[in-house]
Structure 1
Amino acid sequence: MPNKLAEQTSPYLLQHADNPVDWWPWSPEAFAEAERRGVPVLLSVGYASCHWCHVMAHESFEDAMTAAYMNDHFVNIKVDREERPDVDSVYMDVTVALTGHGGWPMTVFLTPGAEPFFAGTYFPPTPRPGMGSFRQVMEAVVDAWRTRRQEIEESGADIARRLAEAAERGPVAGLASNPASGVADELTPGLLDTAVAGLSARFDTRHGGFGGAPKFPPSMVAEMLLRHAARTGDGHSLDMVTLTCERMARGGMYDQLAGGFARYSVDATWTVPHFEKMLYDNAQLLRVYLHLWRATGSALARRVVRETATFLLTDLRTEQGGFASALDADAVPAGATGTHSRPEEGASYAWTPAGLRAALGEDDGAWAADVLGVTAEGTFEHGTSVLRLLADPPDQARFAAVRTRLAAARATRPQPARDDKVVAAWNGLAIAALAEAGALLDEPDWIRAATGAATLLRDVHLVDGRLRRTSRDGRVGTNAGVLEDYGDVAEGLLTLHQVTGDPQWLAIAGDLLGVVQAHFGAPDGGYFDTADDAEALLRRPRDDSDSATPSGQAAVAGALLTHAALTGSAEHRRAAERTVARFAPLLSRDARFAGWAGAVAEALIAGPAEVAVVDSPQLERIARLATAPGAVVVTGGPLVAGRGSPGVYVCRDFVCERPVHTAEDVRRSLGVKVAT
C-alpha cells in the first residue's frame, strides 16, 4: 500500500512511495505527528539519480524489518534535495559540522522541533570497519532519546543556535572580516589576476582540471578564465581551459557515442565517470565549449557543442517543452535475472572487447577497441571499460559508422531512468546555452527549443508573479523558487531576448529581478537564498560558494549586470557591483568556489560591451562571435532606439564609439577570433 509520498510530483519521492517505510513529505504535519507521538524525526535527503541513494533504499528502506523499526520509533521524512535545496542546505551544514563530510543520501535525526542532534550520510545494512550499521545507528538514537531526551533536546537547540549565528556571519562575510586576508572589498584587475594565479597553482598540468580525484567539471571557473583571457590576452588562462576541455571530451566522462557529460570523474584522469547525466552540467558545459570554440576555433569544441545540444534535445527534453533534470547512473545489466536484476552503476555504458566484436564484427570490433580504449583488463569494473577517444582516428567515416552502430547496440540494453521533473534554475541555464549556441552556430531548432522551455517557465512556473521551483508533466509543484531559480531563469531569458529580439523575455527577466530586490535582499547588500516570506527553517539559507551550479548570489549578479547593459539601468548595475564585491575575499583565497562571480567581475571591469546592430544580418552574426567579457548584442530595444543608419554600435555604459560598417572593423572592435 503506498505511503504518504504517493501524491508527490518528485520522481525521487515517488521512487519511495511503495516502500514499507511510512514516509512523510517535509511538512508541518509530519513534525506535529512526531510531537504527538513523542518520537524523533528521521530525515532522509537524496535525489532521483543518486547511486548511493538507490543502494540504501534497496538495502534498508525496502526491507520489511528495517522499515518496521523505523515506523515504530520515528516519524520518517523523505526530501528531494533538488526540490528543496533550502532544507538540504540547512541540514547539510549540520552533517558536515558533525561528521566532517557531507553527501547523499543524507540521514539526520531531529527533535519534533526540527532541531538536529545526530547526522550521517550512507549507512550500510551490516557493520563495516569504522561504520556501524543503519540498525545499530537507529537503536543508539532510540536508546539515547529514551534515556537522555532532555540532554538531546538541549544539544539540538544548541546546534540550531550555533547554525543561526554562523548564518548571520555567512561564509563570504566571514572571509571579509578576516584582517589577515589583507584584501579590500573591491574588485580590481589586480584582484582578478591574483585569483587566476591561485587557479594556476592548483591546475593539473597533465590532465587538466583542478585538484585530484574525484574531479568535477570546472564549468564556472572555465568561464572566468575564458573572460580573463579575452580581457587581458593571457594565453595561460586560455591554455588551462583548452587542456581541461580536451581531456574531458576525450575521457570517459563524455559519452563518446551520444554526447553529453556525466556528473564527474572518480579519478583524476577523467577516465571513469560517476555515470549520472545532469541537466545543469550539460547546459553549462555546452556554453563553455561554445565559448572555447568562439575563442579558438577548436573543431573538437564545436563538435562537443553540437553533440551536447543534440543530447539535451533528444534525451532530456520533455513533452511540455522543458528539460528533465537528469538521467540515472544505474541500469539493470543486460540479461540479469532474479536477485541479480538490481540496477548497477554504468551498466548501460561499459564495454568489453568481446562486446564490441559482437556489435561490430571481428575487424571493426578490434579497431574500435583500439580507438576507444577498451582493453581486456578493463578500466571500470568486472573487466569492462568506459569508452574514451584517446586520439582522433584518421578514418573519420569509419569512426562515424562505428559510433552509429555501437549507439544502436547500446540502445538495446536496459536504459537509465530519467528524472523528468523540470527545475526552473537548470532550465534557465539550458535556455541560455541553447539560445546562444543556436545563434552562433546557425541552428534555429535550438533557439526554438530554448523558446519552448522559456514558454513553459512563463506559463507553468510563474504563479502570481513568483517562480515555483519545479514542475512535472506540466503540473507545477508547490515549492517556492529560490535565489538561483530567479538568477538563472533571468539569465536565460535575457540571452533569449538578445537572440530573438522578443521584448517579452526582457520584461519577464526584469520582473524576476524586481522580485529578488523586493524579497531576497540582505542587510549587507547581498541576498538570501530564500524569500522573506518563505517557510522559516532553522536558519535562512545563504550559500555564497558555487557548487555544481553558480551560487544564487553570483547568478543574480550576472543577470543584474546583463539587464543593466541591455536597458541602461544604473540601479541594476549598482546592485551587481555590490553583490560581486562581496566575493573579493573568496576570489583571492580560492576562486574555484567563486568562478561565476569571477566571470561577472571580468564583465564588470570590461564594461561590459553593449553592441547594437542596425539592419545588418551579416554584421550581427559577426558581432555575436565577440569574445569581449559579458558583451550583450541586440537588434532591438533601448540600445537600438534612435540609431537610423545601418551598422554596429559598440557602447559601454550607453556611451558609444563611432559606428562601424565593415566585417573587419567589427572583428577588430569586439575581439572576434573565428571566421563566419
Structure 2
Amino acid sequence: MNDNRLGTSVSPYLRMHADNPVDWREWGPDAFAEARRRDVPVLVSVGYATCHWCHVMARESFADPEVGALLRRDFVAVKVDRQENPDVDASLMAAASAFTQQLGWPLTTFLTPDGHVFFAGTYYPPTPVGQVPAFRQILAAVLDAWTERRHEVDANATAIATAIRQGAESDAAALVGDEPAGGDPRLPSVDRVRAVTGQLLRSEDTTYGGFGGAPKFPGAPLLEFLGDAAADGDAEAAALLDRSLAAIRGSELTDADGGVFRYATRRDWSVPHYERMLYDNAGLLAVAGAEQARGIADFLRDTLRREDGAFVAAQDSESTIDGRRVEGEWYRRPLAERALLDPPPLDDQVLTGWNGLAIRGLAIAGARHGDDEMVDLARGAADAVLRAHVRDGHVVVRSGTSRGASSAPPTVEDVGLLAEGLLELALVTGDAGLAVAARSLVDDGVAARFDVDPVLAAAGTATGEQPQTAVRSGTVALAAAAATLAALTGDDGYRVAATRLVADRAVTGTERPLGHADALGVALALQRPSREVVVVASDPNDPLRDAVRGARRPGTVVARVTPEQARDWSAAGFALFDERASLDPAAFVCHDRVCALPARSVTELAAQTV
C-alpha cells in the first residue's frame, strides 16, 4: 500500500521520500486534523535534500515496509523541508532543545494533534547503537506513553509550548517597542562591541585556526563581524580574520574547485562533511580575499547557478559511483576524473533569502577586488529573483523550482537578505531601480508583514527567526538595509527602525557572539557617525571610482554613479544624490549628509576619507 502524498511536492527533499512505504503528508492543518480525528500522535521528520544523515535514516527506516506499516497504523507522519519551512524548523528545534543539546538534522519530533511537541531527537538507527535506541524502540516508547501515560504527555507538551510562547512574546516585545528620544540605550557601545574581539581571541584554536574544537564550521557571520571590526580600526580583529580565512582556505574544507564544504568533522579542518551550501559560500564572499573570493564565485557560477541567473540551494555530499551511493568520494577525486563521473545532485530550490545573500556577497567582493564578473553574477541573480519571486514590491515566493513555487510563505530572511543584497548591488552598479525595489521590501519588513504558519499560530509556538551561526540573520539584514536607506534618503525613521530591530540581538551578541555576531557589525555601524561617499563619474575607468574601494567601513555608505544615474536616484527620492550630477568627475564626502567641498582628484578624496 502506498498512500504517500509527496510526489507532487515542489521541495526536492519531500519528493525524495515520495516512494517510501510511509503515509507521508506535507506539513499543514490537514495533517493535524487527521491526528485529532484518529486521536494519534504526529511524527514530524525534518530534513533537507543534501543532508547525509537524512539520506541514511531514509534508507534504514523510512524505506522499511514494516516501519511504514507502524507509522500508518499508529501515527500521522509528516515530512518537512527545513529550507522550505524555516519557521516550522525553528519552532520544532526550540522544542527539541528540551530533550537534547545535540540538535541537527534529521530532526525527529512527536507532537500532539494540537501541534505541541512532547518528545524529540535527531537521527535514530534501525538497531540500537551504544546509548542510542533504535527508531522502532522510539516509536514503541512514544506510543506507550501516548496510550498509558497520556496525562504526562499532555503536561510535557503544554510546558514546552508555554516556554516557547513566552520566549516568542519577549522577542516580539523587543521588536515593536518605542524608540526613546536620543537613541535606544539598549544598543551596546562601541567599546563594548569591540571588546568582543578579546572574547574571540580567547576561544581561538591557536593550533589549527578557527574557534573551538570539532566539528569546525566556516562561520561566515562571525568572520564578517571581524571584518567590520577590522575596518573600524581593530588590528587584532584584522589579524584574527586573516588567520581564520587562511585556515579555511588552506584546509580540506575548501574544495579544489573553490567551493567550501559545510563543516569539517575534525579539529584540524580535515574530513569534511561534503555537502556545499549556498549560504556558507555566499557569506564568505563578503570577507574573503581576492583569490579565495574568486574560487567561491567560480563555484557558484559553475555549479549552483541556473540558466536564468539564480542560484540553487546546495550540492549533495553523496553521489552514485560504480552503482553505489557513497558520501564524499566524488569530491576526493582529482578534478579531471570528476568530469567523467556524474556529480552529486543539487538541491535545486531557489530560495529568495539565500539568493539575496549571494547577491550581496558577490557585489561586495566584486567592488572590493575590482572583479566585474562577480558583479555581473550578482546582477543576474537579482534579475531572476525579482522576476520570479517579487510582485508589486513584495516578496511573494520563498522557494521555487522548475516545478513551480512552494506554498510556504516568505519569511523575514527572504525580505531582509534580499533587500540588503539589492541595496549593495545598487550602490556598486549605480542602478536606482534596485534601490527602489529594496526600499519597498524594507518598508514591508519594518512593518512586520509576515504570515504566521497556521499550525504554529493555532498552537502558539511560532518562535520568529532564531539566531544561527552559519547564516546571516534576516532581521539583522533588514536592520542593515534600513540603516543604509536612512543615509540615502535622509529619513531618520529608517535609522530608528534599524536600531529597534538589532538592539537586543546586539546586546546578546556581546555576551554570546557565536550566535549573534552579525548583529554586532550593524550595532557598530549605528554607533558610529554616519558618513556618505558618492562618486559621480561618467567614465567607468575614472580613478575616483577605484579610490573608494577601501572606504567601506561601519557607518559608511559608498555609492558610485554616473551623472544620469545620480539624477535617477534623486528623482526616486534618495536625497543624498540631490544636485550631484553637475560635476563630472567628482566625489562628495558627507557626514550625516552634510558634505565637504567636492573632491576632484584622488588626492583630494584621500584627504577627506582618512
CA distance in structure 2 between the partners assigned to 1:121 and 1:563 by the alignment: 42
Q: Which residue of the other structure, out of 518, 524, 547, is the alignment partner of 1:622?
A: 547
Segments of structure 1 that go 5 or more residues without pairing to the other structure are 175-182, 290-300, 352-405, 521-529, 672-676
1:472 aligns with 2:401: yes
How do residues 44-193 of structure 1 correspond to structure 2 at under 5 angstroms? Answer: 44-170=45-171, 185-193=186-194
Q: Check the 8 A contact 1:46/1:104 in 2, yes or no.
A: yes
1:653 aligns with 2:575: no
Structure 1 residues 126 and 668: CA distance shift in structure 2, 3 A: farther
Shift of the alpha carbon at 1:442? Answer: 4.0
Question: Partner amino acid for 1:462?
Answer: V
CA deviations 1:222-272 (Å, max 9, x no partner) are 22222222222x2211110001101110100001x2111000111222122
1:331 aligns with 2:256: no
**What is the DSSP-based 3-state SS (H/G/I as helix, E as strand, rest coil) of the residue aligned with 2:99?**
helix
CA distance in structure 2 between the partners assigned to 1:500 and 1:429 by the alignment: 17
Q: Check the 8 A contact 1:90/1:541 in 2, yes or no.
A: yes
Residue equivalent to 1:666: 605
Shift of the alpha carbon at 1:64? Answer: 1.2
**What is the DSSP-based 3-state SS (H/G/I as helix, E as strand, rest coil) of the residue aligned with 2:507?**
helix
Residue equivalent to 1:350: 332
How do residues 447-486 of structure 1 correspond to structure 2 at under 5 angstroms? Answer: 447-463=375-391, 465-473=394-402, 475-486=404-415
Shift of the alpha carbon at 1:172? Answer: 11
Q: Check the 8 A contact 1:2/1:18 in 2, yes or no.
A: no
**What is the DSSP-based 3-state SS (H/G/I as helix, E as strand, rest coil) of the residue aligned with 1:45?**
strand
CA deviations 1:31-58 (Å, max 9, x no partner) are 1111122211110000111111000000
CA deviations 1:465-489 (Å, max 9, x no partner) are 3432111127222111111111100
**What is the DSSP-based 3-state SS (H/G/I as helix, E as strand, rest coil) of the residue aligned with 2:98?**
helix
CA distance in structure 2 between the partners assigned to 1:456 and 1:659 by the alignment: 37
Shift of the alpha carbon at 1:11? Answer: 0.6
CA deviations 1:459-509 (Å, max 9, x no partner) are 221246343211112722211111111110000110111122222211111
| Percent of aligned pairs with the same amino acid | 40
Residue equivalent to 1:248: 248
Shift of the alpha carbon at 1:618? Answer: 2.3
Shift of the alpha carbon at 1:144? Answer: 2.0
Structure 1 residues 532 and 171: CA distance shift in structure 2, 3 A: closer
CA distance in structure 1 between the partners assigned to 2:205 and 2:597 by the alignment: 44
Q: Check the 8 A contact 1:519/1:532 in 2, yes or no.
A: no
Q: Check the 8 A contact 1:490/1:559 in 2, yes or no.
A: yes
How do residues 426-505 of structure 1 correspond to structure 2 at under 5 angstroms? Answer: 426-463=354-391, 465-473=394-402, 475-505=404-434
CA distance in structure 1 between the partners assigned to 2:248 and 2:401 by the alignment: 32
Q: Check the 8 A contact 2:285/2:293 in 1, yes or no.
A: yes
Segments of structure 2 that go 5 or more residues without pairing to the other structure are 176-183, 570-574
**What is the DSSP-based 3-state SS (H/G/I as helix, E as strand, rest coil) of the residue aligned with 1:99?**
coil
Shift of the alpha carbon at 1:621? Answer: 2.2
**What is the DSSP-based 3-state SS (H/G/I as helix, E as strand, rest coil) of the residue aligned with 1:632?**
strand
Residue equivalent to 2:301: 313
CA distance in structure 1 between the partners assigned to 2:349 and 2:231 by the alignment: 37
Q: Check the 8 A contact 2:506/2:516 in 1, yes or no.
A: no
CA distance in structure 2 between the partners assigned to 1:78 and 1:452 by the alignment: 33
Question: Partner amino acid for 1:662?
Answer: S
**What is the DSSP-based 3-state SS (H/G/I as helix, E as strand, rest coil) of the residue aligned with 1:594?**
helix
CA distance in structure 1 between the partners assigned to 2:235 and 2:137 by the alignment: 56
Q: Check the 8 A contact 2:28/2:454 in 1, yes or no.
A: no
CA deviations 1:265-310 (Å, max 9, x no partner) are 1122212211110000001111210xxxxxxxxxxx3111111111
**What is the DSSP-based 3-state SS (H/G/I as helix, E as strand, rest coil) of the residue aligned with 1:98?**
coil
Residue equivalent to 2:180: none
1:562 aligns with 2:563: no
Shift of the alpha carbon at 1:561? Answer: 1.0
CA deviations 1:154-194 (Å, max 9, x no partner) are 432232122212322349979xxxxxxxx972322211122
Q: Check the 8 A contact 1:172/1:582 in 2, yes or no.
A: no
Q: Check the 8 A contact 2:287/2:365 in 1, yes or no.
A: no
CA distance in structure 2 between the partners assigned to 1:225 and 1:608 by the alignment: 20
1:590 aligns with 2:519: no
Residue equivalent to 2:212: 211
Question: Partner amino acid for 2:253?
Answer: M
Question: Partner amino acid for 2:318?
Answer: D
CA distance in structure 2 between the partners assigned to 1:610 and 1:619 by the alignment: 15
Q: Check the 8 A contact 1:609/1:628 in 2, yes or no.
A: no
**What is the DSSP-based 3-state SS (H/G/I as helix, E as strand, rest coil) of the residue aligned with 1:78?**
strand
Structure 1 residues 446 and 2: CA distance shift in structure 2, 3 A: farther
Shift of the alpha carbon at 1:551? Answer: 2.2
Residue equivalent to 2:25: 24
CA distance in structure 2 between the partners assigned to 1:226 and 1:606 by the alignment: 16
**What is the DSSP-based 3-state SS (H/G/I as helix, E as strand, rest coil) of the residue aligned with 1:348?**
helix
How do residues 520-531 of structure 1 correspond to structure 2 at under 5 angstroms? Answer: 520=449, 530-531=450-451
Q: Check the 8 A contact 1:90/1:538 in 2, yes or no.
A: no
1:506 aligns with 2:428: no
Residue equivalent to 1:419: 347
Residue equivalent to 1:269: 268
Which segment drifts farther, 32-41 or 50-59? 32-41
CA distance in structure 2 between the partners assigned to 1:9 and 1:142 by the alignment: 32
Q: Check the 8 A contact 1:172/1:586 in 2, yes or no.
A: no
Question: Partner amino acid for 2:447?
Answer: A
CA distance in structure 1 between the partners assigned to 2:12 and 2:420 by the alignment: 27
Shift of the alpha carbon at 1:532? Answer: 6.0
Question: Partner amino acid for 1:49?
Answer: T
Residue equivalent to 2:221: 220
Q: Which residue of the other structure, out of 287, 290, 306, is the alignment partner of 1:302?
A: 290
Question: Partner amino acid for 1:288?
Answer: V
CA distance in structure 2 between the partners assigned to 1:187 and 1:658 by the alignment: 34
Structure 1 residues 163 and 628: CA distance shift in structure 2, 3 A: closer
Structure 1 residues 18 and 670: CA distance shift in structure 2, 3 A: farther
Question: Partner amino acid for 1:651?
Answer: C
Q: Check the 8 A contact 2:188/2:507 in 1, yes or no.
A: no
Shift of the alpha carbon at 1:607? Answer: 3.3
Residue equivalent to 1:639: 576
Structure 1 residues 46 and 592: CA distance shift in structure 2, 3 A: same
Q: Check the 8 A contact 1:226/1:237 in 2, yes or no.
A: yes
Question: Partner amino acid for 1:640?
Answer: F
CA distance in structure 1 between the partners assigned to 2:153 and 2:452 by the alignment: 30
Residue equivalent to 1:581: 503
Question: Partner amino acid for 1:157?
Answer: T
Please, what TM-score do these two structures have when normalized by structure 1? 0.82
Which segment drifts farther, 106-115 or 457-466? 457-466
**What is the DSSP-based 3-state SS (H/G/I as helix, E as strand, rest coil) of the residue aligned with 1:288?**
coil
**What is the DSSP-based 3-state SS (H/G/I as helix, E as strand, rest coil) of the residue aligned with 1:625?**
helix
Q: Check the 8 A contact 2:510/2:520 in 1, yes or no.
A: no
Q: Check the 8 A contact 2:264/2:270 in 1, yes or no.
A: yes
Shift of the alpha carbon at 1:630? Answer: 5.0
